[in-house]
Amino acid sequence: MTPEERQRLERERAPLVFITGASSGIGRALAEAYAARGWRLALVARRAEAIQAWLDEAGIGPEQVQVHAADVRDREAIVAAGMRCLIEQGLPDVVIANAGISVGIDTAEREDLAVLEDLYATNVVGMAATFHPFIRPMRLARRGTLVGMASVAAIRGLPGHGGYCGSKAAVVSYCESLRIELRSDGIRVVTLLPGFVDTPLTRGNRYAMPFLLSPREFARRALPVIDRGRRHAVIPWPMGVLTVLMRWLPRRLWDRLTAGRGRKQRRGDPG
């Protein structure tokens, strides 16, 4: 066997990760971390050209990665991307439903009902559509890890943030249900709850963001959690301690503490 044939065989045997929302932020950082491990990549985003730009910059070639242009709100498109991955790259070892949006809403404003619909379509239904193509093949293979990206915002409601908090709380419950459904099939379901991560989604926040992480630091901490198949993990751990306190605070005290907190920007608000 020639060295070139040996390298090609090693590439084909390398594990595979499928990541949505891979054009920036946490998704891109996770892709970079897996690429550094030598994994093959299936990367999905609305802006496929943004993915390709940093792949070119990083020198990651088509022998290691396949890029899919798809919006997770378009169920047919994201399912088609998953099917293409199965056909052309094989069954992923890890599927990370990372794509998400964060925007404030005011229920008194009629146009914000459409924003609420977008939040759930992206953060919840988009996650289910991402997982859907892989569940039957994973059951047959009796292996695989599905990773849902929730948020510490799932723990308690925050002013102006009802759509995002509600959608991420739905993610936590959905992933828990899925984990129980699939536990006898050899499939692991991991729920990640990031604290504050410096991404385009958080840079307009009008409030303090304790324990702020860079996307790369978040990815560095997340990969061992995914490797171990932990059911539920808050990253970073000090935020996990804070979420325990948040969960157990009496409702009256929580309301008082958060009443004056800055509201999340609505769609179209000035920066």
The vertex-128 CA angle with 109 and 46, nearest 5°, equals 70
Q: What is the DSSP letter of 121?
A: I
How many other CB atoms sit within 10 Å of the CB of residue 63? 10
- The question of whether 174 is a catalytic residue gets the answer no
Contacts of 16 (CB under 8 A, 6+ apart): 39, 40, 41, 42, 85, 89, 90, 91, 92, 93, 94
H or E element that contains 213: none
Beta bridge partners of 44: 20, 68
Place of tokens 């997770």: 72
Which candidate in 120, 164, 174, 207 is catalytic? 164
Integer Cα distance of 43 and 31 in angstroms: 8
Nearest in space to 118 (alpha carbons), one of 173, 159, 69, 73: 73
Beta bridge partners of 18: 42, 95
Q: What is the DSSP letter of 81?
A: H
Q: How far apart are the first and last CA of the chain?
A: 59
- Helix or strand or coil: residue 58? helix
Residue 31 amino acid letter: A
Integer Cα distance of 131 and 70 in angstroms: 14
Enzyme catalytic residues: 164
